[in-house]
Amino acid sequence: MQNAVLVREVGKALELAQRPIPHPGEGEILIRVHSTMLLPHDTYGRDLGLFVADKLPYVLGTNIAGVVEEIGAKVEDYKIGDRVFGIGNPLFPLPDFSGLQQYALLAPEGYAKIPDTVSFEEASSFPVNAVTSAAALFHPKSLAFAAPFTKTEPDISQDLPPNAKRSLVIIGGGSNVGKLAIQFARLASILKIIVIASAKNEAHLRQLGATHVIDRYLKDEAIAAEVKKILDDDKGPLSVYDCVSWDYSLTVSLVPRMQPSVIACLHPVESCIKLVKLNNLPASVQFIRGTVDFLQPLSAGLWRILPTWIESGQLSIPQFRVVDGFDLKVIEEGLDSYRDGSSVVPLIVRPNH
């Protein structure tokens, strides 16, 4: 048995309890969890039952890093004792793939080895946001930019890389998932990376790769006018990645009436679709889920390159704070910080300390 932090009832306090230690299936590994970073969807899971309401009690935490304890069938290139990081999955019926417990499983094409120069904590800050933004930017059913980690041969008939004539608008670029999207866009050589975020973060966002930063505190019509001015005579489809909105009035205001657009969203999209139809706009809307299965067939490629990008400094390591053990008061406060809308330094929990 192992200690775990459970959501036993939606909207109620978390509980410390015991549950069985799972064994890995084919392609899976069991790790002794060193660190797990809490994210906004964990707060929504506790407060609203997001992803977990139909299978309580459940364990939160999908950014996971630790040491391999057991290896499933057909797992190659990994051994007991390896330092690894990976993404959990709150959609599975049992919470075996969650981080707020002492041991967790990681599924195929959802984990990688941690470089020697990278800590467990640093590694555990990446998985969900990396998978989510990769799915938003590069999946063929989403914004469909050419991924910088696929093994396709370059088209020598083209003078420029495939993304060099395309532009991207990121709403919520100051969030951790938004910052990672900026960096992915830079690595993918996207022509214009237009970021809507607080103006006080402009210097940092430009350092990450933003080509333009628009103050999110401007009125919607002013933001839309700035985007239109930056895009100027661009005739290609407008690609919008909305990392933060629940109210999509700004998002839809960016969509031009005379050219097709694609909007990728991290929150429920029904109201966005309704606004697009109401305004008779030529835009498609895609809800993005940060899971390995949603990212397919790109998961293997992302996890192959992600450690290299982190180790080389091509991806900036976000800020975080740490708590040792299952201090429920601190964990609850870490989840509350997302709900309260304050500027959040994400909490990393170290279950076995």
Res 157 pLDDT > 80: no
| 182 Cβ neighbours under 8 A, 6+ residues apart | 170, 173, 193, 195, 205, 208, 209, 210
Asked if residue 145 and residue 109 are part of one domain, the reply reads no
Whole-angstrom distance, CA of residue 18 vs CA of residue 73: 27
Q: Is the pLDDT of residue 10 over 60?
A: yes
Beta strands in 140-225 (DSSP E): 167-171, 192-197, 212-215
Res 152: pLDDT: 52
Confidence band for 150, pLDDT divided at 50, 70 and 90: confident
- For 91-129, letters b (16+ CB in 10 Å) and e give ebeebbbbbbbbbbbbbbbbbbbbbeebebbbbbbbbbb
Residues 279 and 201 in one domain: yes
Whether 187 is covered by a domain: the verdict is yes
Same domain membership, residue 274 and residue 230: yes
134/276 same-domain check = yes
0.85 cut: is pTM over it?
yes
**Boundary residue ending a domain (272, 287, 302):** 287
Does residue 291 register a pLDDT over 70? Answer: yes
Task: For residue 141, give the DSSP letter.
Answer: T
Instruction: Give the three-state DSSP class for 138.
Output: helix
Q: Is 154 found in the same domain as 75?
A: no
pLDDT band at 343 (very low <50, low <70, confident <90, very high): low
Among the listed residues 216, 223, 212, 226, the one whose alpha carbon sits nearest the alpha carbon of residue 167: 212
Higher pLDDT: 257 or 41? It is 41
Q: Can you give the pLDDT at residue 158? A: 44
Question: 246 and 185, same structural domain?
Answer: yes
- Higher-pLDDT residue of 163 and 274 is 274
What does the alpha-carbon distance between residue 3 and residue 20 come to, in Å, rounded to a whole number? 9
Q: Is residue 308 part of a domain?
A: no
Q: Does residue 250 lie in a domain region?
A: yes
Say yes or no: 88 and 180 in one domain. no
Q: What is the CATH number of the domain that holds 275?
A: 3.40.50.720
pLDDT at residue 20 greater than cutoff 50: yes
Q: Give the pLDDT confidence score for residue 234 in this predicted structure.
A: 62
Confidence (pLDDT) at 238: 87
> What 8-state DSSP symbol labels residue 51?
T
* Overall domain count for the chain: 2
The CA distance from 56 to 307, in Å, is 34
Q: Are residues 323 and 266 in the same domain?
A: no
134 and 58 in a single domain? The answer is no
* DSSP secondary structure letter of residue 104: E
